[in-house]
Structure 1
Amino acid sequence: MAHYCTSILDEHEPFPPLTISLTDERLRSIPTDLGPGYGILLLYRGRWCPHCRRQLVDFQQHAEALRGRGVAVLAASTDTREDAIAFAQETGFSFPVGYGLSARSVARATGCFFDAHSGSLHPAGFILTPRGEVALAAYSTGDIGRLGAADCLLCINTWRENGPRTPITPPAP
């Protein structure tokens, strides 16, 4: 069952500060250390989740395009350091991978859902602006429903050209 602790984050809200332990033993402060451009934070359920694996492999397959656009990606979960390292090695992730998140604390800060029984987060993804504000947030209450790399690139390219929250006018019938 999905549980949550607070309201979800909306566009233009400052992203709450999170300190994430990375598999290379560094700490990353989000949003400050995500980079000078747009950033993507992917919260995933764990190494054991096939849907998470598929999402993160998708981001790895788009890693060059994301880097080329100056977009930083960081993925994190409640996994142990050993599981996070193994997951990154199995899949060849070139982006930083965080571990050891407290599901309740992260849910309280970001509004994401979590499973109280397993102690894992449900998937959530955030595109952050260069100012550390939420440009887009995607929350899931279960296995599916998460950001895709191509969609993130399309959104970021559109925002760079037109500014955030540009209304899309459908073509006349």
Structure 2
Amino acid sequence: MIKPREKAPELEVQLVNDTTWKLSDQSPENFTLVLFYRGKHCPVCKSQLEDLERKLDKFTDRGVNVIAISADTEAVAKETHKAWDIPNIPLGYGVSIQKAREWGLFISTGIKEEPELFTEPGLYLITPEQTVYWESIQSMPFGRPSFNDVLGGIDYILKADYPARGEA
């Protein structure tokens, strides 16, 4: 588990637009929002990412860069990007199970139509210095924070200069 105020593990993923994204290359005004999603097989993820797409401008207006990442293969991630209504979300794929564990994510074994192994959801706000400010990690597809709550939290953080909590 990564505690708030600790350096986030380095993260480098390929994006569906055939570029590479690295956390250490990010220089947001306020935060980078890193969303780990279960994969194309997950209807809750589809709803979550499409909601994020609708609110993407609100994050951008608050100085927050956004990325969504899964352990899906390149082909599956590119299918996801075409099938879901998420044209503006940088979509990363191929995160290794080992890297996901470094981030403290829960890993599940596939059932039915799911991949053999995949990550459960995780949502992180990372500072421009690549430290963890806030994290929400789930062991199931449900119980994710709403983006309206996250946006409200960011507003409070920025207004009150509120420090990251949970570091002790």
User: Which category of TM-score, normalised to the shorter sequence, fits these structures?
Assistant: 0.7 to 0.9
Q: Which residue of 2 aligns with 1:96?
A: 90
1:148-173 deviation line (CA, Å, top 9, x unaligned): 32122111111111123489xxxxxx
Unaligned runs of 5+ in 1: 1-7, 168-173
Q: Which residue of 1 aligns with 2:131?
A: 133
Identity %: 25
Rate the CA distance shift 1:10–1:166 in 2: closer, same or farther, 3 A: closer
Rate the CA distance shift 1:34–1:97 in 2: closer, same or farther, 3 A: farther
Rate the CA distance shift 1:142–1:31 in 2: closer, same or farther, 3 A: farther
CA distance in 2, matches of 1:116, 1:82: 20
Structure 1's consecutive aligned runs of 4 or more residues displaced over 3 angstroms after TM superposition are none
Q: Which residue of 2 aligns with 1:19?
A: 12
Count of residues in Structure 1 that have an aligned counterpart in Structure 2:
159
Rate the CA distance shift 1:34–1:146 in 2: closer, same or farther, 3 A: farther
1:121-140 deviation line (CA, Å, top 9, x unaligned): 01111011222111111111
Unaligned runs of 5+ in 2: 111-115
RMSD: 1.9
Contact between 1:31 and 1:128, CA under 8 Å: does it hold in 2? no
* Residue identity in the other structure for 2:124: F
* Residue identity in the other structure for 1:97: L
TM-score where L is the length of structure 2: 0.86
The counterpart of 2:158, out of the listed 157, 160, 170, is: 160
| Counterparts of residues 15-164 of structure 1 (less than 5 Å) | 15-33=8-26, 35-93=28-86, 94-107=88-101, 109-117=102-110, 118-164=116-162
CA distance in 2, matches of 1:126, 1:31: 15
1:92-119 deviation line (CA, Å, top 9, x unaligned): 3212000111123321x21111014521
Contact between 2:106 and 2:120, CA under 8 Å: does it hold in 1? yes
Contact between 2:134 and 2:164, CA under 8 Å: does it hold in 1? no
Q: Which residue of 1 aligns with 2:113?
A: none
Secondary structure, counterpart of 1:144 in structure 2: coil
Secondary structure, counterpart of 1:86 in structure 2: helix
Contact between 1:45 and 1:77, CA under 8 Å: does it hold in 2? yes
Contact between 1:135 and 1:164, CA under 8 Å: does it hold in 2? no
